[in-house]
Structure 1
Amino acid sequence: MGHPPLEFSDCYLDSPEFRETLKCYEVELERTSKFLKELIKDGNSVISAIRGYSVAVQKFSQTLSMFQFDVIGDSLTDDEINIAQSFQEFAGLLQEVETDRMMLVQNASDLLIKPLEKFRKEQIGVTKEKKKRFEKDSEKYYSQVDKHLSLSAKKKETQLQEADEILDKERVNFYESSVEYVYQIQQVQDRKKFDVVEPVLAFLHSVLTLNNLTVEMTRDFMPYKQELQLSLQNTRNNYESTREEMEELMKRMKHPSQIGKMHSFLPMEGYLYCQEKWALGVSWVKYYVKYHKEGRRLVMVPCEQKTTTKQGPTQLTLKSCIRRKTESIDKRFCFDVETNERNAPVTFQALSEGDRKLWMEAMDGKEPVMELNETGFKFVRKCINYIETKGVTQEGVYRTVGSNIQVQKLLNAFFDPTNPGDVDLHSSDWDIKTITSALKFYLRSLSEPLMTYSLHRDLMCAAKSDNLDFRLTEIHSLTYKLPEKNREMLEMLIKHLVNVCSHSEDNLMTPSNMAVIFGPTLLRAKEETVAAMLDIKFQNIVVEILIEDYKKIFSNMPDSSAPPIPPPRITPRKRQPITISKRPPRVFQALSHDHFQHTESNYQPLV
């Protein structure tokens, strides 16, 4: 299994478990850096020494075969399985080559070395700089916290305010560097899947096509190469879709207002100082405290333990919580907790006044959302009719983003409470990209996604299964568990997408490309977390299946005797070894690295 995803919310809690998980990512980053350094070194050996080429290729092959991609999340898509297995495929292919008669390609350095060095410098190097800033700001912040909490409440108000401002500044710096570091270290883990594999694939293809004695092997390799290129393309599309969603989440998490919201989630947790009375006086002991609203349980884990004794967590049952008045104690931000287990109240000191309020009371709110009602159905039908009449063959339909002002203008006009639905799209000056953007905006703004929160987990489990027949059967069954209005809207929309994809030769919108756009639109997790972002690629799989198997899913009721859900697996698929037959040699023209680069604008998802 791979490493658990790092949640941005954990950056604000900065718990010991978070630090341990972060350490695992740092170890993996260092392992990747060492691997790339070794790979670059081996590639240079191949380029510089034709006489030692045979030995260099064998070493290169061994390096590839030993490296394994780690998993972010709990499952891999078919494309990621293919990519994860790709280095082993490359290594097996190279072992069958008559290495003593190979020749080095002239552009090997541009194909292999420069992209890998660029990745090490621009990705891993930036991540290490983020780490340095994170460690520096972390040390400054906690040093300031200890200094801040030691201030007496009897100090002048101006001195206390100045101390509060200094601590707030250090806290903001620490949170910002922590969130940016978590974002960057996870981006490197995702990007290496294609930024490392693509240069190796390009280099390998040039070696094979320029070797007069490997023509037949190259022919046998072509189907896998095409499959892998498609997997890289799909993985890149999924990465872009996930990255944009995660980047938006990161920006929201960095906003000062989000700091308070994080503490409203259950369980409430963070650092508190507890007043402990001894025979010789009073001391304040630092604890990491978790409060579970269900059961009113308070779990206290000591942070400063003596090496000679190890104290386990203390569990208390909460009865009441009362704020301490400033004049009643020579410490700031204090509150008393009454518990069933102790006769006297337990006094805690929070890190700030805002932190104390969060422990005392959690608040939350929601914005107005659109509903799946008659007006919504009318809007979707009119949009579909307009698109299929005027824009079904337009290149990049649904991919091209409309003007936000025009989209909002259309939505405001159509959903006007005084006269809802009274908009004739054909008689108005609306362009296709405005209509498609407005349709997607409506679907994304529903109070609950079209495929519902309750079925989200089951749909993700189905998409993660390595049994293709089961995927279709289970998604077919789950579709008919949707509420009637949801299924009616879904069927109408998918039928439209099938029609659009049938013109893919003109509009370049295949089911896979369309799924990248509508996956996050029709499905989403109830809580917006990094783990949920990593499931976007599986949301795309669900939509792709709905499009490709539209007739089977919506024309027939599901079979009630379908087999139980098999557990999803991340074991890479086994492929048959490539069989190479020797034939008279032919010379192929080497392909540049640009051959393997896909135009990102052709696959850019709309947000």
Structure 2
Amino acid sequence: MGHPPLEFSDCYLDSPEFRETLKCYEVELERTSKFLKELIKDGNSVISAIRGYSVAVQKFSQTLSMFQFDVIGDSLTDDEINIAQSFQEFAGLLQEVETDRMMLVQNASDLLIKPLEKFRKEQIGVTKEKKKRFEKDSEKYYSQVDKHLSLSAKKKETQLQEADEILDKERVNFYESSVEYVYQIQQVQDRKKFDVVEPVLAFLHSVLTLNNLTVEMTRDFMPYKQELQLSLQNTRNNYESTREEMEELMKRMKHPSQIGKMHSFLPMEGYLYCQEKWALGVSWVKYYVKYHKEGRRLVMVPCEQKTTTKQGPTQLTLKSCIRRKTESIDKRFCFDVETNERNAPVTFQALSEGDRKLWMEAMDGKEPIYHSPIHKQAESNKNVFHEEDPTNPGDVDLHSSDWDIKTITSALKFYLRSLSEPLMTYSLHRDLMCAAKSDNLDFRLTEIHSLTYKLPEKNREMLEMLIKHLVNVCSHSEDNLMTPSNMAVIFGPTLLRAKEETVAAMLDIKFQNIVVEILIEDYKKIFSNMPDSSAPPIPPPRITPRKRQPITISKRPPRVFQALSHDHFQHTESNYQPLV
């Protein structure tokens, strides 16, 4: 459907597959940049050439109809499907009003051109700067690697240590720029869903509403406009909640200590230099090597191919592995591998002493490797819920003036977030995500209803109490702007967090929000009735996604986002207010 997510962990491997995926993102970024440039040019034509307005709108609508959003991940929410189809809807509308002359408001440039130019400058421009730094640091790092590996082992120890320190510094710089570039290029892919569509939507609205000849058509467009505006708002909210989680993951991945941790669970693969003997001497050729423990298969992919000939991967079957003695070769970090396919041992050079130890350990090298892995003491609770402490009674007057509302709500969220596993459990996470990604609304509700009753009894009781309170909060949404959708953005990542912290898991946060939104909207049906267990629901074939009922859009959207950024709501006896 689209491009696979770029995991931050792939930055440390920097494999050819990672580079190829990154190239796909760069091609899409360039396509988006060219599309925006074309869209801005056509918009200016519409504004400045009233006499040729019909021709300009026709070209503008054609440009819109040809562009489609590429997506990250395996599924789209209803809102994202609506957004992805929006340009086609706009193009169809413009085709119908092509023959009419329209009046443009004086601020048409502010509605359309400036926001698109701002996106190109601040988002795409920043991404290209990150790319330049990434390419520069990449070139410096691998150049330093080549220089480093060419050092003779007979050099003084101080010289070797100094060389190691220089390489480590270049490696950290390269990893940091790589992680930042991956983060930025994925953010642009998500931001364009609303940063590009919103200006077009605003511009079209001004065009339609100011033309007396298209009043009726404008009335027909308004329900879709309101639906799309709600989809944009929901997508923006989901983006903000996902961005915060992804930014925290990026910061952790940038820490130097993370490099060592990555090797503890990543598959054994990476760059090695292979000694190849020729008639005129010996050369060291760079390969990207993958070792599969099952079958003891060694796959070598050449990295420095000539343009005239292309060499495919070499597959060998490992017999044994042994460390190369320092005095037996002029290169550092070397080890020999015996294979079934070759009579003589194959000599490899690793990137560092630590890298050689990892390869030796993976291949069951003859010399034992002793290292001290860092074990984290896992905190586990036999029961998700804590036993009551008689010295701390549960009956606390939360309405007392001594308590701060922010403190209470923060403590609740912190408690739920700190549980050894989320309230809706890791074991049901995949099934809940599959239900939320279904195109059939009835199946979504039925499946989530059924899965709720598969929770442990204590978990379900606490979930019911929490959702009941959230339903009460949402019933005052006209005053506090806490709709089920907004509330789900706050509690989705808390109640259904994924076990693995990866970019792919972060992209599923929007579907976690959908589950919580359904629990709130259908609270009575889910918690008042047992699910029908006569026959398990079967996911139906793909159908057209639902259309939301037109609603009245609040004139105070900024306040909604401010409330969401604080993740708080205020409770009083008769009213609910977001804490701004």
Tell me the TM-score range normalised by the shorter chain.
0.7 to 0.9
**Kept after mapping to 2: 8 A contact 1:399/1:517:** no
Distance 1:114 1:508 in 2: 30
What's the CA shift for 1:191? 0.6
Taking a change above 3 Å as real, the CA distance of residues 365 and 272 of structure 1, as seen in their structure-2 partners, is: closer
| Distance in 2 of aligned mates of 1:589 and 1:161 | 52
Q: What CA deviation, in whole Å up to 9, does each residue of 1:135-181 have, x standing for no partner?
A: 12111211111111111110111221221122122212211111111
TM-aligned CA deviation for residue 355 of structure 1: 2.6
In structure 2, do the counterparts of structure 1 residues 497 and 294 end up closer, same or farther at CA, with 3 Å as the change threshold? farther
5+ residue gaps, structure 2, are 370-374
CA distance in 1, matches of 2:317, 2:26: 38
Question: Would the aligned equivalents of 1:272 and 1:350 in 2 still touch at CA under 8 Å?
Answer: yes
| Residue deviations 1:334-385 (CA, integer Å, cap 9, x gap) | 345566777776543221233334445699999999xxxxxxxxxxxxxxxx
TM-score scaled by length of structure 2: 0.84
Offset at 1:302?
A: 2.8
Gap change, CA 1:86 and 1:227, over 3 Å in 2: same
Structure 1 residues 282 and 195, CA gap change in structure 2 (3 angstroms): same
1:578 CA displacement: 17
- Residue 422 of structure 1, CA deviation: 10
What secondary structure, in the 3-state scheme, does the structure 1 residue paired with 2:288 have? strand
Question: By how many angstroms is 1:589 displaced?
Answer: 28
Q: CA deviation at 1:87?
A: 1.0
The answer for the alignment partner of 2:256 in structure 1 is 256
CA contact (8 A) 2:486 2:564 kept: no
Report how far residue 10 of structure 1 moved: 1.1
Inter-CA distance 3–238: structure 2 relative to 1 (3 Å threshold): same
Change beyond 3 A, Cα 1:241–1:132: same
CA distance in 1, matches of 2:338, 2:561: 81
Q: Is the 8 A contact 2:384 2:419 kept in 1?
A: no
- CA drift at 1:218: 1.4
Q: Could you say if the C-alpha distance between residues 366 and 343 of structure 1 is closer, same or farther in structure 2, counting changes exceeding 3 Å?
A: closer
* 1:62-89 deviations in Å (ceiling 9; x for gaps): 1111111111111110001111111111
3-state secondary structure, aligned to 1:106: coil
Shift in Å at residue 306 of structure 1?
5.1
Alignment of 1:194-233 (within 5 A): 194-233=194-233
User: 1:318-337, CA deviations, whole angstroms, 9 ceiling, x for partnerless residues?
Assistant: 67655445344322223455
Bigger shift: residues 591-600 or 180-189: 591-600
Distance 1:584 1:185 in 2: 27
**Which runs of 5 or more residues in structure 1 are unaligned?**
370-397, 405-411
Whether the aligned pair in 2 keeps the contact of 1:145 and 1:167 (CA below 8 Å) is: yes
Deviation, 1:268, is 2.4
Residue 489 of structure 1: CA displacement?
2.8
Q: Compared with structure 1, are the counterparts of its residues 444 and 581 closer, same or farther at alpha carbon in structure 2 (3 Å cutoff)? A: closer
Deviations 1:289-312 (A, max 9, x none): 223455654433232345666544
Instruction: Look up the SS of the partner of 2:298 in the other structure.
Output: strand
Contact between 1:514 and 1:544, CA under 8 Å: does it hold in 2? yes
Query: Looking at both structures, which has the greater relative contact order when contacts are Cα pairs under 8 Å and sequence separation is at least 6?
Result: 1
Aligned to 1:413: 384
Q: Cα deviation per residue 1:221-248 (whole Å; 9 max; x = unaligned)?
A: 1111111110000000001011111111
Q: How much does 1:34 deviate?
A: 0.8
Once superposed, what is the RMSD of the aligned Cα atoms?
A: 7.6
Contact 1:202-1:593 at 8 Å conserved across structures = no
Closer, same or farther: CA 598–108 of 1 in aligned 2, 3 Å: farther
Deviations 1:370-417 (A, max 9, x none): xxxxxxxxxxxxxxxxxxxxxxxxxxxx9999999xxxxxxx999x99
Cα displacement (A) at 1:51: 0.8
**SS of the counterpart of 2:144?**
helix
Q: Call closer, same or farther: CA 1:346–1:585 in 2, change over 3 Å.
A: closer
Question: Greater CA deviation, 90-99 or 181-190?
Answer: 90-99
What do residues 545-575 of structure 1 show as CA deviations (whole Å, max 9, x unaligned)? 1111122222222222456543786977799
CA change 1:452–1:589 in 2 (3 A) is closer
* CA positional deviation for 1:503: 2.8
- Matched-pair contact (CA < 8 Å) for 2:287–2:303: yes
Map of 1:305 onto structure 2:
305
Equivalent residue for 1:402, pick from 353, 368, 379: 379
**Is contact 1:202–1:596 with CA below 8 Å preserved after alignment?**
no
* CA positional deviation for 1:220: 1.3
C-alpha contact (below 8 Å) 2:322/2:365 kept by paired residues:
no
| CA distance in 2 between partners of 1:323 and 1:353 (Å) | 11
Displacement of 1:472: 0.7
Q: Distance in 2 between matches of 1:233 and 1:435?
A: 28
Mapped contact 1:213–1:585 kept (Cα < 8 A): no
Do the aligned partners of residues 136 and 402 (structure 1) sit closer, same or farther apart at CA in structure 2, a change above 3 Å counting? same
**TM-score when scaled to structure 1?**
0.81
Comparing 593-602 with 356-365, greater Cα deviation is found at: 593-602
Q: Residues 105 and 76 of structure 1: is their aligned pair in 2 closer, same or farther, counting only changes over 3 Å?
A: same
Identical counterparts, % of pairs: 99
- 1:461–1:568 Cα contact (<8 Å) kept: no
Quick one: distance in 2 between partners of 1:257 and 1:235? 34
Distance in 2, Cα, partners of 1:310 & 1:456? 45
Secondary structure of 2:362's aligned partner: coil
Per-residue CA distance 1:432-473 (angstroms, 9 max, x = gap): 211211221222222222222222222111111111111111
Q: CA 1:502–1:588 in 2, change beyond 3 Å: closer, same or farther?
A: closer
CA separation in 2, counterparts of 1:364 and 1:450? 42
Structure 1 residues 484 and 301: alpha-carbon distance in aligned structure 2, compared to 1, 3 A threshold? farther
SS across alignment from 1:597: strand
Structure 1 counterpart SS, 2:76 = coil
Q: String of CA shifts for 1:479-534, please: whole Å, max 9, x gaps.
A: 22223333333223222222222232333211111110111111122221111111
Task: Determine if contact 1:3/1:21 at 8 Å carries over to the other structure.
Answer: yes
CA, structure 1 residues 311+402, in 2 after alignment: closer, same or farther (shift >3 Å)? closer
Q: Distance in 1 between matches of 2:502 and 2:77?
A: 19
Question: How many correspondences in the alignment?
Answer: 571
TM-aligned CA distance change 1:582 to 1:402, over 3 Å:
closer
Q: Deviations over 1:19-59 (max 9, x none)?
A: 11111111111111111111111111111111111111111
Looking at structure 2, the residues matched to 429 and 160 of structure 1 have their Cα atoms a distance apart, in angstroms, of 64
- Number of the residue aligned with 1:464: 437
* Distance in 1 between residues matched to 2:167 and 2:562, nearest whole Å: 63
> In the alignment, is the contact (CA less than 8 A) between 1:7 and 1:531 conserved in 2?
yes
